[in-house]
Structure 1
Amino acid sequence: MTLSENRDRPVLALIIRLGAIAALATMSALIKVAGEHHINLLEILFWRQFIALPIILLWLIPTTGVSALATSHPGKHARRAVYGLIGMMLNFGGVMLLPLAEATTMSFTAPIWAVILSMLLLKEKIGLYRWAAVIFGFAGVLIIAQPGGSHLPLVGAAVALAGAFMVALISIQIADLNKTEKPLTIVFWFATFSSVAMIFPLFFVFTKHSTFEWLLLLGIGISGTTGQILLTSALRFGKVASVIVMDYSALFWATIYGWLIWQTLPPASTWIGAPLIIAAGMVIAWREHFLARVGRRTRSS
């Protein structure tokens, strides 16, 4: 089977992407439970990243081998780790401060931030479709957050939105790294640099844990790393624009976990605002896929 034949399996790509989102949604639920058990955010960050290292090595040894981890760009990986740690801190903080469904919905604004960043940093021209998506997306945010009269803490909403902004910013970094590095190499060095960076703060926040709390931390590391590996694997069989629609299934998992663990369901404002944010993300993904296809045709002609 050729590489192109191996990649052209869109149904498998969608299934893998669904599994990735389920794993990451599980991680978010476990993070929220860990926060309720007063486990410090910095400690959660450390174990989330440190546990990833042996999992990645076990994945690589029987497949491509550890030689796949070689890199000639340690500086870029270090910068990615700095940005990544800030992003994880904000995203994990949003999960702890907000109901799970609302925190998940706020994360859907990452494509909207990406459009704004592409204009500011990459000097890309933004057309009518994407500007309309940005406006509709932020309208959805306002409906959910309801400044001045919401059930949501505005600090939590701001933290979650800042986390989505960091995801968009990091995506630009990763796009640059992907030109020279393999996806699992990027994940491994991110985990390595961030684990080393978190060792010193860990001494100040580490506390004794019950067996249940250790299982929570282990579950966060396993589910988070599994989600990252599955996200990478999905792109072997399908294109980003084809599989990204599955990311919105995270709202389903967040709603289920919220009901099962906390006996809460999102209010009407979330169900009104969330479709606007999701629709905005889908329009942006479709438009960027369309523009990329036009660009390829122009270059080939």
Structure 2
Amino acid sequence: MNRVAQHPVKAFAVALAAVGILSVMDALMKALVIALGIYAISLWRSVVSLAMASALYLPRRLPWPSRSTLKIHVARAAVVMIMAFLFFWGIGRVPLAQAIALTFIAPLIALVLAALVLGETIGPRSIAGSIAAFAGVVVIVLGQARPELGPGVLLGTVAIIASALCYAVNIVLMRHQALAAKPLEITFFQSLVVTLLWFAVIPFAGLPVWPATVWWGWIALASAMSIAGGLLFAYAYARAEASYLAVTEYSAFLWASVLGWTVFQERLGPYTVAGAVLIVGGCIVASRGKRAVPPEIEVAA
């Protein structure tokens, strides 16, 4: 085991960067799901991601992880697979900004799970920041509750809420995993397990559609963004508590609002602006309210 210095403010900034990268990936995945379907894009993206992760990890010839660490890798990968499938299926049917807003129940659940599972202390400012940010989400959802969005929105909404529940578990597992393994190991084994799980689905779902040549570049870009976001998250969650970093997820709404408007012509209204102000304010309150932490903590060598 090595001792890694805890840098909450730096970790918060890195987590924000990860959210930004993954938010752009979400917009790209929305377009790919609409074009290719959720099954095909999920499987082929996992294959490309595994190839990229292998190129980064295998040449280092690192020792095989312990059995306990492998269990963490497998558990989180399974959660990530289900979470991603539900989320990407949902954003194919729900406006991007509304979809992201719905996922913001995840950090609130993660605050409780981090306290129960990891024994973390929830600071009063983290709670206040999360409440303010969640109030922003409520404002946005009220403003976007329009019947003209179509019948598919209800199913998409249910899928995204289920994905958010999975993501709450994922947030806590990220902290647990980041203390047990290095970022490249996490990325490789997550890609490996997710790909194996998708291939296990083939006997039941059949072979997926083979994408046209023009789509492979976009699939590769989405995979690269997924890996980059995952590496940044692994770095951040090894240097700050999950209950503290969870609030960075709220910044994804700002990205979704801009991308939804510019790429998918999804309108922004006053409710969206008001909600965004509350979300940003909540993030600021939480980031300034970090309680004292040990300067170093044990992590995997």
TM-score of the superposed pair, with normalisation by structure 2? 0.75
Residue matched to 1:167: 167
Q: 1:26 aligns with which of 2, 24, 48?
A: 24
Q: Please list, as runs of the form range in 1=range in 2, the aligned pairs for 1:207-286 lying within 5 A after superposition.
A: 207-233=209-235, 239=240, 249-286=251-288
Residue matched to 1:143: 139
Residue matched to 2:61: 66
Residue matched to 1:197: 197
Residue matched to 2:34: 36
Q: How has the CA–CA distance of structure 1 residues 266 and 158 changed in structure 2, closer, same or farther, with 3 Å as cutoff?
A: farther
CA deviation digits over 1:246-283, x for unaligned, max 9?
Answer: 65553443333223322233232222233334444554
CA deviation digits over 1:129-181, x for unaligned, max 9?
Answer: 55555544443333222399436634433433332332221222232233322
Residue matched to 1:77: 73
Q: How many residues align?
A: 285
Residue matched to 1:95: 91
State the distance in 2 between where 1:116 and 1:10 align. Answer: 22
Over aligned residue pairs, what C-alpha RMSD do you find?
3.8
TM-fit CA distance, 1:88:
1.4
State the distance in 2 between where 1:122 and 1:58 align. Answer: 33
Q: How has the CA–CA distance of structure 1 residues 9 and 35 changed in structure 2, closer, same or farther, with 3 Å as cutoff?
A: closer
Q: Bigger shift: 26-35 or 221-230?
A: 221-230
State the distance in 2 between where 1:130 and 1:244 align. Answer: 9
TM-fit CA distance, 1:128:
5.6
TM-fit CA distance, 1:186:
1.9
Whether the 8 Å CA contact 1:69–1:185 is kept in 2: the answer is no
Q: Bigger shift: 184-193 or 214-223?
A: 214-223
TM-fit CA distance, 1:221:
1.4
Q: 1:110 aligns with which of 87, 106, 123?
A: 106
Q: 1:49 aligns with which of 21, 43, 46?
A: 46
CA deviation digits over 1:212-260, x for unaligned, max 9?
Answer: 3333322221221122223345678x75799877655534433332233
Q: Which runs of 5+ in 2 are unaligned?
A: 296-301
- Specify the code of the residue in structure 2 equivalent to 1:32: K
State the distance in 2 between where 1:114 and 1:244 align. Answer: 7
Q: Bigger shift: 252-261 or 24-33?
A: 252-261
SS at 2:51 equivalent: helix
TM-score of the superposed pair, with normalisation by structure 1? 0.75
SS at 1:67 equivalent: coil
State the distance in 1 between where 2:89 and 2:210 align. Answer: 22
TM-fit CA distance, 1:127:
6.9
- Specify the code of the residue in structure 2 equivalent to 1:66: R
